[in-house]
Amino acid sequence: MKPWNPDKYLAYADLHTQPIDDLVKRIAIEKPKSIVDLGCGPGNSTESVAARWPRAAITGVDVAEEMLEKGRARHPEWRWVLSGIEEFHPAKAFDIVISCAALQWLPEHEKLLPQLWKLVRAGGALAAQMPANQESALHRAVFRTAKSSAWKQYTGRSRAVLNFQPPEEYFSILAPMAKRLEIWETIYYHEMRSLNSLLDWAKTTVMRPFLDKIPTAAGRQAFIADIKQACAESYPKTVRGTILYIQKRLFFVAYKND
């Protein structure tokens, strides 16, 4: 995919922050010595990690240098590593391996999660949260538009970039390895100024792999306009003149034997 824009991503940080905080608070490890944040982006998730465990050695890993530059500028005291999650092979394991809204971009979770499990020290935890919102009106509109006759030559296969699995699948992968395993889903109701604001945010998330395949700016704007038309009725104005975006997230925390 094309380079990430950290400023655009952080413009909607409030949509990301609460799920990150909810995951961090749930991890039942009080004094970890080392933590790695996989897919750390510009460091907003890493900041939540550090706020709970300020004495831990923190490492942020991301495939986008422009994201790491933003995080490094804000927190030069932490270690920042340019690497894909699948290619990250550190010399030492960590007490906590966490990933926030990143694993959905990666394939074959049945192979990926055992690989990440090797990064966890004895007595540590592997924790993650990711969108589980594929049945939302916005997501359905994106997928349906991408497959339409007007766009399928560019975007017909882009949905494969996004990996959505049900909770039962993560249980079947993690339970044989973990001493204790917690899996849950949470639904968040985000108030947004307008449908245009929602679509602007979606450019950096669910629409991103589709937009990357469209070769012209005019084409990308037309694609977004078609998505807007497809989901407009699903986002009526609230009594405050805003809209509500209903977002579901999947979480898990798996603990390793001592």
116 pLDDT higher than 80: yes
Please tell me what DSSP assigns to residue 7.
Answer: H
Q: What is the pTM of this model?
A: 0.91
Pairing of strands 94-100, 57-62: unpaired
241 pLDDT higher than 60: yes
Q: Per the structure block, which two tokens stand in for 255?
A: 């603990």
pLDDT value of position 115: 98
Q: Per the structure block, which two tokens stand in for 104?
A: 């959905």
Q: Per the structure block, which two tokens stand in for 117?
A: 């499990």
In this structure, which amino acid lies at residue 40?
A: C
Percent of the chain beyond pLDDT 70? 94
Q: Where are the domains of the chain?
A: 6-255
Under 8 Å CB-to-CB from 76, ≥6 apart: which residues?
A: none
Rounded Cα distance between 250 and 61, Å, is 21
pLDDT value of position 156: 76
Which residues on adjacent β-strands are paired with residue 128?
99, 252
Distance in angstroms between the alpha carbons of the first and the last residue of the chain: 39
More confident residue, 134 or 229: 229
- The dihedral formed by the CA atoms of 175, 177, 181 and 185, expressed in degrees to the nearest 10: -60
Please tell me what DSSP assigns to residue 73.
Answer: H
Please tell me what DSSP assigns to residue 234.
Answer: G
CATH number assigned to the domain with residue range 6-255, chosen from the 4 options 3.40.50.410, 3.20.20.140, 3.40.50.720, 3.40.50.150: 3.40.50.150
Summarize pLDDT for 161-185 with one digit per residue, the tens.
Answer: 788 899 999 999 999 999 999 999 9
Rounded Cα distance between 234 and 195, Å, is 10
Q: Are 29 and 125 in contact (CB under 8 A)?
A: yes
45 pLDDT higher than 80: yes
Best CA proximity match to 4, nearest among 203, 217, 156: 203
